Structure formats: C-alpha cells, structure tokens
Chain A
Amino acid sequence: MPDQLIFAMEVTLNGLMTGVMYALVALGFVLIFKASGIFNYAQGVMALFAAMTLVGIQQGRVPFSHLINEIFGTDVHYFGWEVPALAAIALTVVVMIGFAWLVQRFVFRHLVGQEPIILFMATIGLAYFLEGVSDLMWGSEIRNLDVGLPQGINDVIDTTTFEIFGYGFFIDNLDISAAIIAAVLVTGLIAFAQYTKQGRAMRAVADDHQAALSVGIKLNYVWVLVWSLAGIVALVAGIMWGSKSGVQFSLSLIALKALPVLMLGGFTSIPGAIVGGLIIGVGEALFEFAVGPMIGGATENWFAYVLALIFLVFRPQGLFGEKIIERV
C-alpha cells in the first residue's frame, strides 16, 4: 500500500478523534438550545470555568485568593490538602449546579416569555461575567489538568497497524477515552430527554413558556435542570480539552469551533452535532494533509468556517436540523 494512503488513513483517524472533541462542545450548545430555546453563548466559558474549578479543587487552591490577599493583606494560596480526582469532579458538579441555580435566579427568572434574541443577549453578558469570575476566583495562569485519564500513544493500535501496514499509527489514548465518554454522555442525554418526565417538561418549556405553565410545569425548576445539564456537559468538555492542552483562557475559544460544527449538523440535532464534529475533524485534518503544504499550512484555522459558510449557502438548516416551514 502506498505510503501516502497509509498516512491519509492515520490522519483520518486522528481527525475523527478531534471531531469527537468538537462534537462534545457542540453537544452542550444543542442540549441547551433544544431544551430551552436559548443559544448559549456562554457554553465555552462554562467549560473553562468548570475545568478551572476542577483543577482548583483538586490542588486545594483557595478560591478568590488574590482578592482575599489584597483586601486582608494575607498571603494564602493553598488549603494544604489535595482532593482525589473523583471527589473533585463530584464537587465541581455541585458548583455547576449552584451556578445553574444562580443563573436561573438572577437572569432567566426575569426573562420569562421574552424573545429568543433577548435570551441570547443575556447569555453573552453571562459569558463575560463568568469569564471575569473565573479569573478572579482561580487566577489566569495555565494549569495542568490530570484526572487520571490514560494519555499517550495507544500501544494496541500501534502494534496492530504496524503488523498490517508496516507502519504504526499514533492514536492518543486520551482521544479514545474522549470518544467513549462522549458516546456514553450522548446516550444518557438522549434517554433523559426522550423518556423521562423531566425531559418532556424540558422540551415543553423550550417550545412555549405560557403553555408549559398552564400544564403545571415549574419553569424555574426546569431551567435549573437545563443549566445544570449544560454545566455538566461543559465540565466533561473542559476535562477533555483541559487534559489535552492545559486549562487556560483559550479553552473558552473552543466554543467558536463549535459554531461551524453546529452549522453543519444543525442546531437542533444531537446526532447532527456528532456527525458535524466528525466531518469537521476529519475534513480539516485531511485538508491540511493534502492541500496545506501547497498553500503554506495552518489551514485548520479557517477550514471549518469556510465549510460552514458553504453549508449556510446551500443547506441553512444543517444536515439534520429541522427544516423551517412557516404556515402563511
């Protein structure tokens, strides 16, 4: 088999893995959008905040330590203990649920029945607010995140491919775990949204606030639920991306990568988010591999957006999105 083809296969596989990571972020958007009709601009920042909080708790950092030291003239940074990874994750989930409650209490409770665009604007404000809070709470240095996920080259794939092609593929264990976790998460979320009372209530609230109230749904409760779920999805995405490239401000920018994924897959479809993520992951890897060297490389930076633009022209609702039909 020609070398080029084998390389292309490896690139494709790696692209698929990156695609899963994109899909993970996009999922957070789709989930909130389907469940509350809100396009949550803050999803990326939530992932950053969740990862920051996780690292902070794990390392036993004192939250708001800069602020405390500044005001009281003290010099505290650490509590002096370390929290095991699983306990830290559980605590972070609690923090995200608390955050969801605050969001509901101070933002969305006051916006019942408003236009989607108003709710969207509120999430932009929320994004900047949370960005500031996470800075103030945990500082802005780059942190290493290690929750014990396997890292490094997967030996099984390496040796098998070496036996077959005479060339070992480099696939990161972290990517493989991301794919597995994403699959579990998606299955769980779909089961939740489709089959539980809470899921049905979520879909009802997304569709019409007034009607939801009239059938006895408690809006505030559903909102806390939706934002808690979004927080948990953000935490998962934060853990994955944080383990891969460190917890830092640019983590919140991966949310931007989710936009082309959503345009491809459609804003309302969970399978769409996954397929969209995979297409973009593979597409940009292969494009960089095949065309990149001819035009000076770094095509990953823009390929996804151009692809999304082409989709917007020919299929604005995305691959799996609901076609918008207006009755006139």
Chain B
Amino acid sequence: MNERAVPLSPTDGYVTADGRQIGPVVMEMKHITLRFGGVEAIKDISFDVREGEIRAIIGPNGAGKSSMLNVISGFYHPQEGEVWYKGSQRPPMKPYQVARQGIARTFQNIALFEGMTVLDNIMTGRLNHMNASFLDQAFWWGKAQREEVANREKAEEIIDFLEIQNIRKTPVGRLPYGLKKRVELARALVAEPQILLLDEPMAGMNVEEKEDMSRFVLDVNDEFGTTIVLIEHDMGVVMDLSDRVVVMDYGKKIGDGTPDEVRANQEVIDAYLGVAHD
C-alpha cells in the first residue's frame, strides 16, 4: 500500500499499485467560483491534476461537474479563482486557445461534424498540426503533402487503436450513439493532447459499450501517457478507473482523494444516498 500513497508535495511523482508512473502536478484549480446570474454553479473549488493520472470528477446531477470541465476548457470563465497550468497562471482563454495548448475534450451531448465522414471528423483534430503555407496546401506541394501524409498516418493509428476501421468512410450522422462517442474520443486523441477532458464518456451506453469505453480510457492513459480528467456519475465505473476522485455536490467540493478514501467519506455517502440538504 505504501507506494500507492499520493505524495503531499506537488512536485513529487509516485508509482501506482499497478505500476504506472504518475508525475507531479500539471494543472491546478485554485478557489474557482462560477456564477450564472445569481446562481453559483461552482463554489470555491480547488483541486489539482497530476501528470499521467486519471482524475475523475463525480457528483449527482446538477453538481457543477460539466461547468468545471467547461472552465478548464475555456468555454466558461469563472468570476473568481485561478487556473494554473504547467507552473504558471493561465490568463482567461478562448476554447481554441486552450485546445492549442494541448488540452482536448469531448462533450456530454457529443459535438461532432455530423455531415462529415468519420475520417474527416478525425482529421479536423489535426488542424493545429498543419503549418504549410496556404498555397502549398491548395496545390498540394512539398510541405503540405508531407504534413497531410503524416496527419493521415496519425489518424489511421488512432482509428486502429479505437477499432473503428470499418466505419472510416461513414458519415457521422448515420452512426449509432455509442460509436459517435468513440469517434469523438478519436478526434480528441488525434490532436495528441497532454490532457484529455472527457464529459460523461459512458453516459447513455449499455453495459458492453461501457466496458469497451472503460478499456479505451485505460489504454489511452497507458499507451500515450495522456493525463485524463473525466466526469462520470456511474460510481462503479469511476472507482475502477480513476487514480483520484473529486466529489462535487451542489457546486461544492465534498470529497477529494483515492477511490477508497472517497468511498469511506460520510459526506459523499450522504450525497449519493440522498440525505436531505438543510
């Protein structure tokens, strides 16, 4: 059990029970408060994310989990608090700027380009890896051609990895829900992000699809060393998957720690069993 303990120092790494190397803190949220008019969606929440870990944010519906993810990815801007990324405070950023910093995400309600094929969707994830000049691209010269080939290779690698070869040319609009989720994951992954944000990756899936998705999440973390922050409200899935868990309820943080610590937390148990709020 000793090696599994999370060190107190933000700059130390550690090794998990299953032998994965977890690094120092890469992202830190400090006293984040987010209001919509008079409603406080997030109240003074702080937590950190370590390099290479799978960090879950859980909580009942309306707890503010998705809002938190939207703060990280730049879709919402908190009224108070600071976001620290790679050792420096991040100024308020637009979503595209966050994406260009190497933070990719998926959405709870799936945001794919429905009119494009699976491959085209995934290729949009490589847009920030294309630097050839505009004319080169239009005429398919030199650098543009090399880049396109490299980007295609990366896309095919991810397609193989997520086992979606057979739907490569299918327009996304025709795919069933579970596969759409997987294509969205592929598009996020192909950008080679350092941090991957997953908003309820298993929502609305059957047991088999959930198992597949869990396996992919673990494989992504293992194979590419990607740090993963995921939101989920299926407790079972979260506890098996994640290294550390933040628990939110009514916009407040009520628990933070390893799955075992969180499971033993009385406040968390109350929130999930539905003890009346005062």
Q: Which residue of B lies closest to A206 (CB)?
A: B115
Is there an interface contact between B111 and A208, defined as CB atoms closer than 8 Å?
Answer: yes
Contacts A197-B137, A210-B111, A214-B104; A219 near B96 (Cβ below 8 A): yes
B116 within 8 A of A: yes
Q: Give the chain B neighbours of A105 by CB distance below 8 A.
A: none
Min CB–CB distance A33 → chain B (angstroms): 12
B130 within 8 A of A: yes
B105 within 8 A of A: yes
B112 within 8 A of A: yes
Q: Which residue of B lies closest to A204 (CB)?
A: B124
Interface string of A203-233 (1 = CB under 8 A from B): 1101110111111111100000000000000
A196 within 8 A of B: yes
Which A residues fall within an 8 A CB radius of B?
188, 191-192, 195-198, 200-201, 203-204, 206-208, 210-219, 322, 325, 327
Going nearest first, the 7 A-B pairs with the smallest beta carbon separation are A216-B99, A211-B111, A207-B113, A213-B95, A196-B137, A197-B130, A210-B111
Q: How far is the CA of A165 from the CA of B174 in the complex (A)?
A: 55
Is there an interface contact between A204 and B113, defined as CB atoms closer than 8 Å?
Answer: yes
Q: How far is the CA of A216 from the CA of B105 in the complex (A)?
A: 10
Q: Give the chain A neighbours of B138 by CB distance below 8 A.
A: 188, 191-192, 195-196
Q: Give the chain B neighbours of A215 by CB distance below 8 A.
A: 99, 104, 124-125, 127-128, 187, 191
Q: Which residue of B lies closest to A213 (CB)?
A: B95
Q: How far is the CA of A218 from the CA of B112 in the complex (A)?
A: 17
B75 within 8 A of A: yes
Q: How far is the CA of A200 from the CA of B140 in the complex (A)?
A: 14
B85 within 8 A of A: no
Q: Give the chain A neighbours of B112 by CB distance below 8 A.
A: 208, 211
Interface string of B129-143 (1 = CB under 8 A from A): 010101001111000
Is there an interface contact between B99 and A196, defined as CB atoms closer than 8 Å?
Answer: no
Is there an interface contact between A213 and B75, defined as CB atoms closer than 8 Å?
Answer: yes
Q: Give the chain B neighbours of A191 by CB distance below 8 A.
A: 138-139
Is there an interface contact between A213 and B127, defined as CB atoms closer than 8 Å?
Answer: no
Residue B191 contacts which of A203, A206, A216 (CB distance < 8 angstroms)?
A: A216
Residue B123 contacts which of A188, A196, A200, A218 (CB distance < 8 angstroms)?
A: A200
Min CB–CB distance B67 → chain A (angstroms): 15
Which residue, of A191, A196, A215, A219, has the highest number of chain B Cβ atoms within 10 A? Answer: A215
Which residue, of A188, A211, A219, A327, has the highest number of chain B Cβ atoms within 10 A? Answer: A211
Is there an interface contact between B173 and A325, defined as CB atoms closer than 8 Å?
Answer: yes
Given contacts A200-B123, A203-B115, A214-B188, list 7 more A-B pairs with CB under 8 A: A203-B120, A204-B124, A212-B113, A213-B94, A216-B99, A219-B96, A325-B174
Which residue, of B138, B139, B173, has the highest number of chain A Cβ atoms within 10 A? Answer: B138
Min CB–CB distance A95 → chain B (angstroms): 22
Min CB–CB distance A39 → chain B (angstroms): 16
Q: Which residue of A lies closest to B132 (CB)?
A: A197
Which residue, of B95, B100, B128, B173, has the highest number of chain A Cβ atoms within 10 A? Answer: B95
B73 within 8 A of A: yes
Min CB–CB distance B258 → chain A (angstroms): 30
Within B91-128, which residues are at the interface with A (CB < 8 Å)? 94-96, 99-100, 104-105, 107, 111-116, 120, 123-125, 127-128
Is there an interface contact between B107 and A214, defined as CB atoms closer than 8 Å?
Answer: yes
Min CB–CB distance B276 → chain A (angstroms): 36
Q: Give the chain B neighbours of A203 by CB distance below 8 A.
A: 113, 115-116, 120
Q: How far is the CA of A236 from the CA of B120 in the complex (A)?
A: 31
Q: Give the chain B neighbours of A198 by CB distance below 8 A.
A: 134
